[in-house]
C-alpha cells in the first residue's frame, strides 16, 4: 500500500512551530507508545534542533508493557528523556516539572544568581494527529477547554494553557510530514493517525492481520476464538463469520469486519499491542 496524507493546515502548523520556538524552554513531544518510531515526526526534530525535548510516551495502557520499558531505555540511550503516560488517567505533573527543571538547571542557577524569582517553565506540546496530545493537555491543565477528538487533526489553532503548577503549555495542532515509507504509513494507519476514510480499509486490515499473526497470534485466538495458524485471508473470513459481518447469501462484508477489528485494536479490546519493536 502507498500511503501519504498531508493536509494544507499541516504546512501552516510547521511554520507556527518554527516561529514559536523562542517563546518556550522545553518541547514536550507526545508520541503513541504503540508506534514510538513512526509517531515521531522527523520534521519536528529538524525544526526544534537543539531545543531540549521530553518524550511523552502516551497510550501506554494500550501498548505492550515489555516494549514500553525497552523503548524508554532506547530513548535514554539516545540521550532523550522519556516518560510513560496514560493521558486518560491523572498525570504526575510534578514528575514532568522535575525532569524539565533538571534539564534547565543552568537557567535556574543564573536566575538565582540574578535574584530572579520565576519558577515557571514554558513548554510547547507537539505531536502527530491522534497521539492523544489534546487529552494530555486537558488532563495536565485540569480543564476541558481544549477540543478533543478521536479523529486526526481536531486541534487546529495555537493555544496557551495555564496549569495549576508552574508549567505553561503552548498547544499546537497535530502535524504529519509530506512523505513517508510504506512501513511508517502502515503504522500510522493502523493507529488512525491517518484517516480511515482515505484508505482502502479492507486491504489495510489484511496487513494488520498479517502483523498480528506474526507478532501477537495469541491475542487473535483469545479475542476471536480462531485458529491463527491459517492464512491471513482465511483468518479474516473466520472473524467475519464469527462476528456476523456477512452480507446476503453468506458473502463476507470485509469493510464491516475491518472496522470491527480496528475498533478492537484501537480500544484495547484486542490486548496491549506495540506495532514497532525497540
Is the domain of 88 the same as that of 204? no
Residue 53 reports pLDDT greater than 60: yes
Do 233 and 110 lie in one domain? The reply is no
209 and 107, same domain (yes or no): no
User: Mean of the per-residue pLDDT values for the chain?
Assistant: 86
State the pLDDT at residue 206. Answer: 96
Q: How confident is the model at residue 4 (pLDDT cuts 50, 70, 90)?
A: low
Q: What is the mean pLDDT of residues 83-99?
A: 90
pLDDT for the residue 6: 54
Specify if 75 maps to a domain: yes
Question: What is the model's pTM?
Answer: 0.86
- Res 147: pLDDT: 42
Same domain, 33 and 87: yes
Determine, yes or no, domain membership for 176.
Answer: no
216 and 84 within one domain? no
Residues 219 and 163 grouped into a single domain: no
Helices 254-267 and 201-215 cross at an angle (nearest 10°) of 50
Kindly report, residue by residue over 254-265, the tens digit of the pLDDT: 999 999 999 999
**For position 144, which CATH number holds?**
3.40.50.300
Residues 63 and 136 in one domain: yes
C-alpha 22: how far from its chain's center? 25
Give the relative orientation of helices 232-242 and 217-224 as an angle to the nearest 10 degrees: 20
Asked if the model's pLDDT at residue 152 lies above 60, the reply is no
Q: Which three cell numbers stand for residue 163?
A: 496549569
Asked if 146 contacts 155 with a C-beta cutoff of 8 angstroms, the reply is yes
Q: What are the tens digits of pLDDT across the range 198-245?
A: 789 999 999 999 999 999 999 999 999 999 999 999 999 999 999 999
Domain that holds residue 218: 200-267
Per-residue pLDDT, 144: 45
Number of structural domains found in the chain: 2
Question: Are 127 and 80 members of one domain?
Answer: yes
- Residue 9 confidence (pLDDT): 59
Amino acid at each position: 500500500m502507498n500511503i501519504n496524507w498531508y493536509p494544507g493546515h499541516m504546512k501552516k502548523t510547521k511554520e507556527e512551530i518554527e516561529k514559536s520556538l523562542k517563546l518556550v524552554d522545553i518541547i514536550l513531544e507526545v508520541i503513541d507508545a504503540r508506534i514510538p518510531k513512526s509517531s515521531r515526526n522527523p520534521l519536528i526534530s529538524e525544526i526544534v534542533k537543539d531545543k531540549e525535548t521530553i518524550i511523552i510516551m502516551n497510550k501506554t495502557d494500550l501498548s505492550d508493557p515489555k516494549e514500553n520499558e525497552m523503548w524508554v531505555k532506547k530513548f535514554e540511550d539516545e540521550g532523550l528523556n522519556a516518560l510513560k503516560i496514560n493521558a486518560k488517567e491523572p498525570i504526575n505533573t510534578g514528575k514532568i516539572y522535575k525532569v524539565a527543571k533538571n534539564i534547565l538547571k543552568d537557567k535556574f542557577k543564573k536566575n538565582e544568581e540574578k535574584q530572579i524569582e520565576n519558577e515557571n517553565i514554558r513548554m510547547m506540546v507537539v505531536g502527530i494527529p491522534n497521539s492523544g496530545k489534546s487529552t494530555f493537555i486537558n488532563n495536565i491543565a485540569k480543564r476541558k477547554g481544549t477540543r478533543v477528538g478521536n479523529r486526526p487533526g481536531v486541534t487546529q489553532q495555537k493555544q496557551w494553557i495555564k496549569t495549576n503548577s508552574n508549567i505553561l503549555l503552548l498547544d499546537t495542532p497535530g502535524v504529519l510530514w509530506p512523505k513517508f515509507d510504506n512501513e511508517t504509513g502502515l503504522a500510522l494507519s493502523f493507529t488512525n493517525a491517518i484517516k480511515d476514510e482515505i484508505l482502502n480499509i479492507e486491504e489495510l486490515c489484511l496487513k494488520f492481520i498479517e502483523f498480528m499473526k506474526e507478532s501477537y497470534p495469541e491475542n487473535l485466538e483469545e479475542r476471536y476464538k480462531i485458529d491463527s495458524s491459517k492464512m491471513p485471508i482465511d483468518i479474516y473470513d473466520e472473524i467475519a463469520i464469527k462476528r456476523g459481518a456477512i452480507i446476503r447469501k453468506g458473502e463476507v462484508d470485509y469493510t464491516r469486519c475491518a472496522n470491527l477489528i480496528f475498533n478492537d485494536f484501537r480500544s484495547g479490546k484486542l490486548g496491549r499491542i506495540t506495532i514497532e519493536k525497540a
